[in-house]
């Protein structure tokens, strides 16, 4: 009997400004589920429902140009708030899905969460020097000036915030306990902060934010000196004259950071339900290869589009400089090219008092994916 999957309704994506809404990859497998009335499974191939964002690097999966070997595919779209909640506290609708890397780490280390494991595919990664916003009237000119200041943030243990505190400590000598923290219960992008984005350490001065106020409200009113946030707070977007980035030329600072450390910070990974892999042991490798192939399509399209399809006048120059600095495969998958970044985040999480133990790559990733390498460009 052909296997089928239950088609779930799409989830409205959040207005996150640093990512385009869309559907990435995830898998739902259910032997007794009913597939969409408009699409029937092909004989001998199980249906896979994929969920996440439609980044350019996964569009080949979204539009069907790239298959997951051995499976048919369908795509749902969901924002990271929904994806995290679904996997770590919800219905676990998807068998393969994008997931916040650090929230997953905390669920694994602190809550014995074992329902999913990872494949070394990283749909979202971002340098985070750009994510520190300051009041211009508080004398903050350098990272050292953050000592003694009050910082607001939604979701203290988000991936982005853990990276920020990590580079402040290791590159500038500014420790989390050097600052006072206000953790808000809401974000100015209206996103919901999950349990595993709200883990708080001991021995760091942290208080909850006022009811009904987000991080942007506190920055605009002057109740805090700075905001650390993955997204641009609304006060900054609105052009408040008292709000600026700490690192004005963040592009240069971030490029210098990569040159020095070789780290391209990872925010999200791809997770697969362990019970599904028991039924389909080939799935982790098939998913890795499909994401890699989709990304290679992005590289090819990027080369073509910068010439005449993009509206940015110097997009081609930006691509050239990225290739010069980071190499042809500047968005790498696999353990080997990402080991340093992964182990840095494991260290930051543990030394910041968030993870109860310092995790290892071998714990979190499917064994069949540890030695996988991408095909050459």
Taking only the tens of pLDDT, the chain with its 377 residues reads 334 333 333 333 332 332 232 323 333 222 222 223 224 445 588 998 889 999 999 999 999 899 999 999 888 889 998 999 999 988 999 989 999 999 999 999 999 999 999 999 999 999 999 999 999 999 999 999 999 999 999 989 999 999 999 999 999 999 999 999 999 988 887 665 656 567 899 999 999 999 889 999 999 999 999 999 999 999 999 999 999 999 999 999 999 999 999 999 999 999 999 999 999 999 999 999 999 999 999 999 998 877 678 888 899 999 999 999 999 999 999 999 999 999 999 999 999 999 999 999 999 999 999 999 998 76
Cα-Cα end-to-end distance for the chain = 40
DSSP string, 202-214: SSS-EEEPPTT--
| Separation of alpha carbons 102 and 159, rounded Å | 5
Cβ neighbours of residue 137 under 8 Å, at least 6 residues apart?
Answer: 222, 242
pLDDT at 159 (0 to 100): 94
The answer to whether 104 and 88 are in contact (CB under 8 A) is yes
Cα–Cα distances in angstroms (integers) from residue 369 to residues 5, 58, 72, 289, 373, in the given order? 25, 19, 21, 10, 9
pLDDT at 115 (0 to 100): 97
pTM for the whole structure: 0.86
| Separation of alpha carbons 106 and 15, rounded Å | 25
DSSP strand pairing (268-273 vs 116-119):
antiparallel
The answer to whether 261 and 127 are in contact (CB under 8 A) is no
| Separation of alpha carbons 335 and 342, rounded Å | 9
| Separation of alpha carbons 79 and 242, rounded Å | 31
Q: Hey, do 47-125+266-369 and 129-261 end up sharing a CATH topology, with the first three levels equal? A: yes
| Separation of alpha carbons 215 and 161, rounded Å | 13
| Separation of alpha carbons 5 and 41, rounded Å | 9
The residue extents of the domains of the chain are: 47-125+266-369, 129-261
SS3 content of the chain, % helix, strand, coil (to 5): 40, 15, 45
Q: What does the block give as tokens for 162?
A: 């853990």
Which class would CATH give 47-125+266-369? alpha beta
| Separation of alpha carbons 71 and 69, rounded Å | 6
- Domain 129-261 in CATH: superfamily? Periplasmic binding protein-like II (3.40.190.10)
pLDDT at 44 (0 to 100): 83
pLDDT at 43 (0 to 100): 58
- Which residue carries 């088609």 as its tokens? 7
**HSE-CB of 158 using CA atoms within 13 angstroms:** 23
The answer to whether 335 and 365 are in contact (CB under 8 A) is yes
């Amino acid at each position: 009997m052909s296997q089928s999957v239950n088609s779930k309704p799409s989830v409205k994506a959040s207005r996150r400004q640093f990512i385009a809404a869309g559907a990435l990859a995830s898998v739902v497998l259910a032997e007794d589920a009913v597939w969409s009335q408009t699409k029937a499974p092909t004989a001998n191939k199980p249906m896979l429902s994929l969920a996440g964002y439609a980044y350019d690097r996964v569009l080949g999966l979204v539009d069907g140009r790239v298959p997951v070997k051995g499976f048919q595919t369908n795509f749902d779209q969901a924002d990271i708030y929904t994806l995290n909640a679904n996997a770590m506290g919800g219905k676990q609708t998807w068998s393969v899905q994008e997931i916040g890397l650090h929230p997953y780490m905390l669920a694994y280390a602190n809550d014995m969460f074992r329902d999913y494991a990872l494949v070394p595919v990283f749909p979202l990664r971002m340098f985070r020097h750009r994510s520190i916003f300051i009041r211009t009237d508080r004398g903050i000119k350098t990272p050292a000036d953050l000592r003694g200041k009050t910082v607001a943030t939604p979701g203290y243990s988000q991936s982005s915030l853990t990276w920020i505190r990590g580079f402040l400590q290791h590159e500038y000598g500014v420790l989390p306990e050097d600052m006072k923290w206000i953790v808000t219960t809401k974000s100015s992008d209206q996103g919901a902060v999950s349990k595993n984005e709200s883990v708080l350490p001991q021995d760091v001065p942290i208080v909850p934010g006022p009811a009904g106020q987000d991080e942007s409200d506190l920055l605009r009113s002057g109740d805090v000196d700075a905001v650390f946030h993955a997204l641009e707070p609304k006060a900054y977007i609105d052009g408040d004259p008292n709000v600026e980035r700490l690192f004005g030329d963040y592009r240069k600072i971030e490029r210098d950071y990569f040159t020095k450390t070789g780290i391209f910070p990872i925010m999200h990974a791809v997770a697969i339900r362990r019970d599904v892999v028991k039924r389909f042991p080939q799935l982790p490798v098939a998913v890795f290869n499909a994401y890699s192939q989709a990304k290679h399509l992005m590289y090819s399209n990027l080369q073509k589009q910068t010439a005449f399809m993009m509206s940015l006048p110097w997009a081609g120059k930006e691509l050239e400089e990225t290739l010069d600095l980071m190499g042809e495969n500047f968005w790498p998958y696999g353990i080997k090219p990402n080991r340093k970044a992964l182990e840095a985040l494991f260290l930051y999480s543990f030394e910041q008092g968030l993870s109860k133990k310092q995790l290892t790559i071998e714990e979190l990733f499917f064994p069949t994916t540890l030695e996988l390498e991408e095909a050459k460009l």
